[in-house]
Amino acid sequence: MRTTLRSTAQSAVALLCLFGCSSQTPAAKAPAAPVDDTKVAKSEPAPKAEAKPAASETSEPDPRGDGLRKASRPPAELITGPNLVYVFNFKDSAIGIAAKEECEAKSAGDRGAAAACMEKARSKVPVEFVRFVKEPDGEHWWITYNRYKGNLLKWHKVQFKPGQETEDRLTLSLFGKDKGIAPMARVPRELSIELPNDYTIVLNDPDNGPMQYDAKIGTMDD
């Protein structure tokens, strides 16, 4: 009997220990969520482009003041180009500008009368074209052309040598007789030429003042 009770008591104690010990044991914690060590990069504003000054602000001012590009080649080389003809620009020359002012004053608003006056003033300047010819033998000729009774004739033909030269000016030393059909009684010793750009020359004529010519390419019958 005692043996039975002791076994029963031991069994009860074992059960109590089992439940008590299991209740005191801390429960296993659930694994924590993995931590992402990657840092999210903050979006930074794109760097602003630095404003560049306009070309007009950085370019040096044209010392000439007329806005025209300077000649790209030495004047003596430029004016003797093959098949190069310079056409007289009466409108933009000093003599043409003066004639326009005078004709407008005389015509009193009559456009027809002003045009007729300008045409008459233009006819008084016996120049149509100018050429500076360099012959194969090295000779240089200054030739002017004028229209006479419907024909284009060599008005003046004078030999020259290129003289003093800068980047936009040239002096021609004239010598010999005028071999044109309307020869000058006295050939001037020199002819001054200004080259504002590759397409324009200005001749300082002793009688008509600065005369502007525009470059054209065309074959002339020598």
Give the count of alpha carbons within 13 A of 187, CB side only: 20
Note whether 78 and 212 are within 8 A (CB): no
pLDDT at 195: 92
pLDDT digits (tens, 9 = 90+) for 150-180: 888 999 999 999 998 888 899 999 999 999 9
Task: Show the domains of the chain with their CATH numbers.
Answer: 75-89+127-217 (2.40.128), 91-124 (no CATH)
Beta strand spans in the chain (E): 84-88, 129-134, 140-148, 151-165, 169-175, 190-197, 200-205, 209-217
Nearest to 204 by CA among 101, 118, 124, 94: 94
Q: What's the DSSP call for residue 173?
A: E
pLDDT digits (tens, 9 = 90+) for 80-127: 988 899 999 999 999 999 999 999 999 888 999 999 999 999 988 888
pLDDT at 37: 46
Note whether 202 and 215 are within 8 A (CB): no
Single pTM value for the model: 0.64
Residues 6+ apart with CB under 8 A from 110: none
